Amino acid sequence: MKGRKLIIGFVGATQEAIGALTIVFSYILYHDLFDVQIWLDISAEHVFFYLLLLFVFGFVSIISGFFLLRELSQ
Amino acid sequence: MKKLKGKRELGLFQAVMIGLGGAIGIEIFVLFNYATYLAGSTIVFALFICGIINLLTMLSFSELGAAIPEVGGEYSYAKAALGGFLAFLTGWLRWVSNAFGAALAALGFAYNISYFVPVDMPLLTPLIASIIIVVLTFLSIRGIRQIGPMIVIAFIAFFVILILGGLLHGLEFKIFYPSTLEGASNVFATTAYTFIMFLGMRAIAAGGSEIKAPGKNIPRAILISAVVLMVLYCSIAYVTVSVLSLDDITKSHIPLTLAAKQIFGETGAIILTIAAIIAALSSLSTAIMVQSSITRALSRDGYLPKFFLSTHRRFKTPHISIIFGSIFYILFAATGVVEFVGYVAGFASILGFALVNLSLIRLRMKMPHLKRPFKIPLYPYVPIAGILVSILLLLFIERSALSLGIVFIILSLLTYHVGMVGYNRIRIAFGGMSLGVGGFVALFAYLLRTGYPLPISIPPHLSAIIFCLLIFICAINILAGVLNIVTKSKR
C-alpha cells in the first residue's frame, strides 16, 4: 500500500512538473526567447499550431497529475 | 440557501462613484493605441457606439440589480433566471473577463512606470506587471480599502482639464465617422476591443446589496455613470486624435500621456502618467475584490471547492480565492500582449452581456410577479437588441483571442460537468487522455529515432537526450493514465 502511494505521488508530481514546464516552454516559444524558433526551425506562421499542441499536452498533464495527487490526500 | 448579503449603507452618490471608479480605470490608457490603429480617427464614433451598446445592457443590469440586489451581479441574475450550465457560464465568463482585465491593469501599470524608468528590456513589462499583482494580492489579503470618491473626482478633473486644454490648444478637424464599408467594419472591431472600457459600471449592480433604496438608486447610478463615461471617453478620444498624428498614437503605449505632453508640456505628461498609475492600481484592486466575490459565489453554489469560502484567521479576508485569482492574473499578464489580453476580456464580457439580457427575458417569463422597482423601457426590444448586438460584436473579435475564449467555454463545460457526471468519470476520461498523449509521445520518439523527416529540426547532438526525455515522458503519461483509470476514488 505504501509502495503504491509512493508511485502515485511520484507519477502525479512528475506529471505536474512536466505540465508546468510545458507551459513555461510554450511561453518561451511564443516570445522566441533564446532564438528557440530558429533553433527548432519553426516558422512564425506555424507557432500557434505548436502552442496549441503544447497547451493541450500541458493541460492534460496538469489535470491528470492533480487527480493523482488528490488521491494521496484522501 | 445561504445568501452573501452586505449592509445597505451606500447612497446614490457613492453608487455613482462605484460605477465610475470601476469603469474609469487603466483601460482608456492602454487600449487607446491599438484601437486607433484599428479605427483611425473614427475611434470617437466607435467609443460612442460602445457606450450605447453598454447602455442597452446596463438597462438590463438596472432592472435585474434592483430586483435581485445580491452579491454576485450577473451570476446571481443568471442563477435566478436560467439556472444550470448557463448560470455557471455567466459566472465563469465574468471571472475570465475580470482576470484578463486585471492582467491588462497590471500591464498598463508597467507601461506607465516605464515613462519614469525607460529601460529597454523585453521581459521587463511582464515582470513589473507580475510584481505589482503580487504586491496588491498581499495588500488585498491584509484588507486594502477600495478607491475613494475623492480619487474618482480627481480623475474626472484630470480628464476635463485635458479636454479643455486640448480645446484651447486648437484642434485639427478629422472625420470621426466611417464613410466606407471597411471603415464601418473597423469601427465594430474597435467597439469589440474597447468594450471593457465601460463595463466597470456593472460594479454598481454587483454591489447592489450594499446600496440604499436599490430600486431607485441602482438604475439612476448606472444611467448617470453611462452618460458621464460616454461624454468623457469620446471627448478624450476627440482631443487625442486631434492633437497627435495617428502614427504617433499607434506607435506609443502611452498615447494619452503624449497628448498631455503636447498640450501642457512635460508637467502635464508627468501628472497624467501618475494618474494612469493610480488608475491601474485602482483597476487591479477592484478586479481582485470582484474576482474573489465571484469565486466565492461559485464555491457557495457547489461549482468550485468549498475551501474558497474560507477567510484569513487574522485579516478576515477571503485569502484563498484572492491568491487563486492572482495566479491566473500573473499568467495572463506574462503574455505581455495588451491587444490579446484586451480582446479576450472583451470576448468574455460581450458573451456575458448577452447572457444578462437573456436572463432578463427569461426572468420576466419565469417570475412575472417578482417585485421590480425598475423596469426597462421598450421591453422586450431593448434586451433582444442587446443580445443581437453582442453576438454581432463577437464576429469582430481577433481570431487568437476568440480561440482562447472558446477554450475557456470548453473548460467551463468540463468544470460544470465534473459536478454533474461525477468525479470518477472525469478522472477516467483524463486517464484515457493521458494514455493517448503517452502513445503520441511514443510515436514521436520512434520517428525521431528512425530519422523520419519531422516538421521541426532537432540538433543532432541533442537527439539522443531528447529521445530519452520523450521515453521518460511517455512512460510517466502511460503510468498516470493506468493509475487514473484503475484507481477508484472514495468520493
The residue-averaged pLDDT of B390-410 equals 84
Q: Determine the pLDDT at residue B370.
A: 85
Top pLDDT among B135 and B403 is at: B135
User: What element of type H or E holds B432?
Assistant: helix B423-449
3-class DSSP state of A31:
helix
Q: Determine the pLDDT at residue B2.
A: 42
Q: Which of B407, B484, B491 sits opposite A68 (nearest CB)?
A: B484
Query: Which residues of chain B neighbour A15 with C-beta distances below 8 Å?
Result: 434, 476-477, 480
How do residues B346-381 score in pLDDT, each as one tens digit? Answer: 899 999 989 999 999 999 999 888 888 778 888 889
Average pLDDT of chain B to the nearest whole number:
83
Q: Which of A55, A57, A68 sits opposite B480 (nearest CB)?
A: A68
DSSP output for B336-394: --HHHHHHHHHHHHHHHHHHHHHHHHHHHHH-TTS--SS--TTTTHHHHHHHHHHHHHH
Q: Determine the pLDDT at residue B354.
A: 92
Subunit contact A60:B481, Cβ cutoff 8 A = no
Cα of A44 to nearest chain B Cα, Å: 12
| Greatest mean pLDDT among A38-52, B14-28, B220-234 | B220-234
Query: Is the Cβ of B427 closer than 8 Å to some Cβ of chain A?
Result: yes
Residues of chain B with pLDDT > 70, as a percent, come to 90
> Within its chain, how far is the Cα of B373 from the centroid?
29
The residue-averaged pLDDT of B477-486 equals 90
CB–CB of B217/B15 below 8 Å? yes
Q: Determine the pLDDT at residue B448.
A: 84
Subunit contact B430:A60, Cβ cutoff 8 A = yes
Q: How confident is the model at residue B23 (pLDDT cuts 50, 70, 90)?
A: confident
Structural domain range at position A55: 2-73
Query: Which residues of chain B neighbour A64 with C-beta distances below 8 Å?
Result: 430-431, 433-434, 477, 480-481, 484
Cα of B457 to nearest chain A Cα, Å: 5
Q: Which of A30, A31, A65 sits opposite B480 (nearest CB)?
A: A65
The residue-averaged pLDDT of B444-457 equals 81
Q: Radius of gyration over alpha carbons of chain B, in Å?
A: 24
Query: Which residues of chain B neighbour A71 with C-beta distances below 8 Å?
Result: 487, 489
CA atoms within 13 A on the CB side of B341: 26
Q: Determine the pLDDT at residue B4.
A: 47
Q: Determine the pLDDT at residue B282.
A: 81
Q: Which of A40, A41, A64 sits opposite B431 (nearest CB)?
A: A64
Subunit contact A8:B487, Cβ cutoff 8 A = yes
Burial of residue A2, with CB atoms counted within 10 A of its CB: 0-12 exposed, 13-18 middle, 19 or more buried: exposed
Subunit contact B335:A39, Cβ cutoff 8 A = no
CA distances from A5 to A8, A17, B489 (A): 5, 18, 13
Which residue from B68, B20, B394 is spatially nearest to B231, judged by alpha carbons?
B20
Q: Determine the pLDDT at residue B1.
A: 38
Query: Is the Cβ of B433 closer than 8 Å to some Cβ of chain A?
Result: yes
Top pLDDT among B265 and B334 is at: B265
For testing contact with chain B, the best of A49, A64, A66 (most B CBs within 10 A): A64
Q: Determine the pLDDT at residue B428.
A: 86
In sequence order, the β-bridge partners of residue B211 are B10
The residue-averaged pLDDT of B224-234 equals 89
pLDDT reading at B137 higher than 90: no
Query: Is the Cβ of A25 closer than 8 Å to some Cβ of chain B?
Result: no
Subunit contact A46:B455, Cβ cutoff 8 A = yes
Q: Determine the pLDDT at residue B7.
A: 56
DSSP output for B6-54: ----B-HHHHHHHHHHHHSSSHHHHSHHHHHHHHGGGHHHHHHHHHHHH
Residue B453 amino acid letter: P
Q: Determine the pLDDT at residue B71.
A: 67
Q: Determine the pLDDT at residue A74.
A: 63
Subunit contact B336:A12, Cβ cutoff 8 A = no
Residue with grid cell 454591489, as numbered in its chain: B207
CB–CB of B372/B69 below 8 Å? no
Q: Determine the pLDDT at residue B360.
A: 93
pLDDT reading at B200 higher than 90: no
Burial of residue B270, with CB atoms counted within 10 A of its CB: 0-12 exposed, 13-18 middle, 19 or more buried: middle
| Greatest mean pLDDT among A39-48, B2-11, B36-45 | B36-45
Query: Which residues of chain A neighbour B437 with C-beta distances below 8 Å?
Result: 57, 60-61
The residue-averaged pLDDT of B53-81 equals 83
Q: How confident is the model at residue B24 (pLDDT cuts 50, 70, 90)?
A: confident
pLDDT reading at B388 higher than 90: yes
Q: Determine the pLDDT at residue B363.
A: 92
User: What element of type H or E holds B427?
Assistant: helix B423-449
> Phi/psi zone of residue B170: left (φ > 0), alpha (ψ -120 to 50 degrees), beta?
left
Query: Which residues of chain A neighbour B407 with C-beta distances below 8 Å?
Result: 55
pLDDT reading at A69 higher than 80: yes
Q: Determine the pLDDT at residue B476.
A: 93
Residue with grid cell 519531422, as numbered in its chain: B454
3-class DSSP state of B211:
strand
Count of the separate structural domains present in chain A: 1
How do residues A32-61 score in pLDDT, each as one tens digit? Answer: 888 888 888 888 777 888 888 888 888 889
For testing contact with chain A, the best of B337, B430, B469, B489 (most A CBs within 10 A): B430
Contacts of B480 (CB under 8 A, 6+ apart): A11, A12, A15, A64, A65, A68, B431, B434, B438
pLDDT reading at B341 higher than 80: yes
